[in-house]
Structure 1
Amino acid sequence: MTSPHRSAARIQIGTTLRRMREEAGVPRERVAEVLHCTLTKISNIENAISGVKQAELEKLLDLYRADDATREDLLSLNSEAHRRRPKSKIGGAIHPWLRRILDVEAIASEALYSSFELIPAVLQTEPYARALMAGIGLGGETLEKNLHLRMERRALLTDREPPLQLWAVIAEPALRANIGGPEVMRDQVKHMVALTELDNVVVQVMPQGAGAHALTGTTLTLFRLPDKLPSLVSVDTPFGAQFVDGLDQLEKTSRWFDYTRAKALGVEESRELLTRITEET
């Protein structure tokens, strides 16, 4: 019997191919003609029910007029998925691996986030995000393109139907990190307080001095996906995000997140602390 589990690579490739097809304005019927297959197969590839052969992927990339960086990234990912070896990262103004993360995030029904250092991208203000990007060496056109892309992600919480359900556990030091200076941090925390008025946004603060917890020192996002797709974990590293898709690892991450939010301040206590931080900054 075929395993119902779909790998992280298959989901990333399928969601990205669907986004590229829609952006190119290519109907599925045309794709089926190019691959000499049924519409069901195209649907299965885009929904990560089945994988795509390397030769088929090349044809799709030609059809969608993929740029060189995207072509190399997806072909490499598809090849490495079969060999199950770590994939390489590719440079560029916007990294293809970041595009893949955004494609997964765009279809996610829920995102569970935990970090000791950073505020999640969908909650970031433009000045805070700009300071973060400048801090890692981005500048000029590269910074502006990445900043624009990050600001677009915020619409997932307000403009998408249904909106992304976000549950974030953020350590207090991240709220006092002085990224961009006191005014930038104050406005960033105020922005978060305002967003917690939304029914789909929950923010808990892990207070300073709370001690170790299950996700100490880790920045990660657990994505819950629709249509019976399995969950995915994105772990931030200095070289980009790494996806985790092992069933045992997913179960552990979900359990660790439950332990972490149980140790954090309650929702109302967190809002009170966030408000107090804006007054103290």
Structure 2
Amino acid sequence: MITSRPQMEEKTVSTEGEGPPVRRRHLMLKMRKLRQAADLSQEDAAKAMGWNRSKIHRIEYGRNQKIRAADIIALCRLYKVADAETDALAELARQSGKRGWWHRYSDILPGPYIEFEAEATVIRDFEITLIPGLLQTPEYMRAILDRAAGATDEEIQRRIDARIARQKILTRKQSPPRLWAIIDEGAIRRQVGSPEVMRGQLQHLIEMSCRPNIDIQILRFEEGAHAGVAGQFLILDFSGLDQVVYIEAEQDGFYLESSDQTSRYTLIFDKVQAAAGSTERSVAFLQALASGTEPPHLSGD
């Protein structure tokens, strides 16, 4: 960040808890960079526009502030931005105010994670306890949610519907995200629901692994201690934005986005991925379990 500006401009955008949606984050970041490229402080820009400085600050850092396309166009003219880029940023401002499908489930999907997931270009998911949510069957989901304390049948069905809606990003026609899922063997062997539910879940993993944008690897017990023993996490990549690391917790979770933090988790994921071995070997493991036979030991592969 710029070190010569007042402290108000040096604060970073935090994504802990209820951070701004992805499109808005991208727009905010872009408007900061354009102002800085024009060699203007927030105070300079506000004075030139006849605005309060706080308005510039809200456009660049506001969590829940709606950004008007007209304001973006006016600022772009001040910053001498080309017409094509100005039009693109104005359209981004219009899009950032639109609600996605997930708002129908805001009561059961707290925090910004779902929008991050929906707009990610690459999702790297390391799971220890359960099958990744994007790869669960409805029967597997229900077997998990039936154990939720105090959940009504209606709440359970809404959560299942929301998770199925989430999964559609993997099969959409336009630019589906690349999913790298590394699943600990414990999550594969843990029986969730009946044996029939687990067989259906294993078969679903096999089928999904055939999709060109999905790679599934199983981290076998025989690998012993590994780089990911501290716990599961996801890394989300976005076009034109930095990565976000998501660590799930009750209600929502933690969002890490400093370069030091994301680089550390990327290294951990790479090491776990190397330990998990090839996708072909992982699919063979799943096929053996789905058919009721014990997979061979790694030394015998």
Distance 1:158-1:271 versus aligned 2 partners, 3 A rule: same
* Alignment partner, residue 94 of structure 1: 108
After superposition, give the CA deviation of every residue in 1:2-53 in whole Å (9 maximum; x if it has no partner). Answer: 37975425994133879xxxxxxxxxxxxxxxxx99xxx99x96xxxx2217
Task: Identify which of 100, 121, 132 aligns with 1:120.
Answer: 132
Task: Identify which of 266, 276, 279 aligns with 1:264.
Answer: 276
SS of the residue corresponding to residue 206 of structure 2 reads: helix
Identify unmatched segments of 5+ residues in structure 2: 3-9, 26-49, 69-96, 294-301
SS of the residue corresponding to residue 186 of structure 2 reads: helix
Distance 1:226-1:65 versus aligned 2 partners, 3 A rule: closer
- Report the residue type matching 1:168 in the other structure: A
* Alignment partner, residue 109 of structure 1: 121
Asked if 1 retains the 8 angstrom alpha-carbon contact of 2:17 and 2:252, the reply is no
Within 5 Å, which residues of 2 pair with 1:1-281?
A: 1-2=1-2, 7-8=14-15, 12-15=19-22, 50-52=60-62, 56=65, 93-97=107-111, 100-137=112-149, 138-227=151-240, 229-280=241-292
Asked if 1 retains the 8 angstrom alpha-carbon contact of 2:17 and 2:254, the reply is no
Asked if 2 retains the 8 angstrom alpha-carbon contact of 1:93 and 1:142, the reply is no
Distance 1:216-1:160 versus aligned 2 partners, 3 A rule: farther
Distance 1:246-1:280 versus aligned 2 partners, 3 A rule: same
| CA deviation after TM superposition for structure 1 residue 279, in Å | 1.1
Instruction: Give the distance between the partners of 2:98 and 2:168, measured in 1 at CA.
Output: 27
SS of the residue corresponding to residue 236 of structure 2 reads: strand
After superposition, give the CA deviation of every residue in 1:150-202 in whole Å (9 maximum; x if it has no partner). Answer: 00111111115100100011011111111012111110010010011111000
- Report the residue type matching 1:231 in the other structure: Q
- Return the TM-score normalized by structure 2: 0.66
After superposition, give the CA deviation of every residue in 1:64-91 in whole Å (9 maximum; x if it has no partner). Answer: 899xxx9xxxxxxxxxxxxxxxxxxxxx
Instruction: Give the distance between the partners of 2:18 and 2:244, measured in 1 at CA.
Output: 9
Identity of aligned residues (%): 26
* Alignment partner, residue 82 of structure 1: none
- Return the TM-score normalized by structure 1: 0.70
